[in-house]
Amino acid sequence: MGYAPLGGFLLGLFLVLLLLTILSSFGVGVLNLVSVYKKHNDQESYLANLKKALKLNLIPLSLWVILIIIAMIGMPTPFAGTLLAVKGLGDGFNVINFFAVSSYGMWLCLPCLIINSVKISDL
C-alpha cells in the first residue's frame, strides 16, 4: 500500500478494492456458516435467514468483477519490480500479472462466491 501512490489513482483504487474483497469474502463466509448452523423453529424461517445471508455474497462477487475490469484496463507500476522484488510485476500491471501474482486462495474464493450467489435462486 505504501507504493500505491507511485502507480496513480487506479492502482490505489485497485489495492483498496482488493483489500475490501478479501475482508468481505471472509466476513460473508463466516456469516454463511453461522446462518447454516443456526437453530430455527421451522424450515421457512431457516430458509429465509439463509437466503438473506446468501444475498450478501453478491457484494464481494461484484468487487471481484470490478477488480478484473480494472486489471483489464491496466496500470503503471513504476519501480515495482525493483522495490518490491516481485518477479511477476514489470513496468505495468494488467490482468495477466494479476493471474500470475495471485495465490490459489484468492482464486478459490471466486467459485465459492459464485456458488453461494447461485444458491439464492434455489431457496
For residue 27, give its domain range: 17-122
Whether 1 maps to a domain, the answer reads no
Q: Which residue has the cell 513496468?
A: 91
Whether 6 maps to a domain, the answer reads no
Whether 43 maps to a domain, the answer reads yes
Question: Would you call 3 exposed, middle or buried from its count of C-beta atoms within 10 A (0-12, 13-18, 19+)?
Answer: middle
Question: Would you call 54 exposed, middle or buried from its count of C-beta atoms within 10 A (0-12, 13-18, 19+)?
Answer: buried
Per residue in 49-92, pLDDT tens? 999 999 999 999 999 999 999 989 888 776 655 565 666 566 77
For residue 81, the model assigns a pLDDT of 55
Is residue 1 predicted with pLDDT exceeding 80? no
Mean pLDDT estimate for the chain: 83
Question: How many domains is the chain partitioned into structurally?
Answer: 1
Q: Which residues contact 86 (CB under 8 A, 6 or more apart)?
A: 80, 101
For residue 85, the model assigns a pLDDT of 60
Is residue 2 predicted with pLDDT exceeding 90? no
Whether 8 maps to a domain, the answer reads no
Whether 29 maps to a domain, the answer reads yes
Whether 2 maps to a domain, the answer reads no
